[in-house]
Amino acid sequence: MSDITKGHTVHSFDDDLAQLRGLVLEMGEIVVEQVNNAVEALGERDVHLAQRVVSDDRKVDQLDMEAHEEVEKLFAIRHPLARDLRLVMALSKIVSELARGGNKAKKIANFVLALEGEEDRAPGKKLMHHVRRMSERACCMLEHSLEALAALDVDAAIDIMKTDDELDEEFDASMRHLVTFMWENPSMITKVLDMVFVLKALERIGDFANHIAQQVVYVAEARDVRYVNPDLLESR
């Protein structure tokens, strides 16, 4: 698909749109890395890696501010219309979704830091199995949603929306399994509740990826698909 940020009569408009999209994609790369690192820090009880996740959140916050400044500049100076308007509005919303994703990763990292010195609350391999599976799915969705945004690929965006149900099913299956741990061994209750917090954060990150994919369809085809069953969607 052609690059929507190019082809304007005023070439500086191209540059402004490209600048905004570049900030969003850079922000997305950092958030994906944050999520991966947060889960790895939890599994390995790696305090230094957890601290890195928390530190990287400041980069996300900075990009968040820069992106919103670009949005304000585009509205004030360029007065975007039609597809350009949809792109700017969508990128603004995507920035917010990514900021929320980074915040979820930071919360997981802060949890790792809070566990330092509490060996009895270490999750163990069985509990981490569910966390790693959820993390792989959520990060895959987030990465692919950013790729769909970069290419403005509607088919890829719709595929991501369809996989959101799979992530929800994975979350439900994990929750059922965790409940059995508590029934069989009540001493596991605290550990299980800790993992519920982490799993819910990862489930939300998958939701953020789904929302990004919805915005891709909106930009490309002027369709609001937030409340449409993904199985009924086809690209035009």
Supply the pLDDT for residue 190: 85
- Given a cut of 50, the residues of the chain with pLDDT beneath it are 1-2, 9-10
Phi, psi of 28 (to 5 degrees): -65, -40
| Model pLDDT for residues 185-232, shown as the tens digit of each residue | 888 888 888 899 999 999 999 999 999 999 999 999 999 999 998 888
Supply the pLDDT for residue 10: 46
Supply the pLDDT for residue 235: 67
Domains of the chain: 11-232 (1.20.58.220)
The answer to whether the CB of 198 falls within 8 A of the CB of 108 is yes
User: Using CA atoms, how far apart are residues 72 and 212, in angstroms rounded to an integer?
Assistant: 20
Supply the pLDDT for residue 9: 44
Residue 57 C-alpha from the chain's centroid? 13
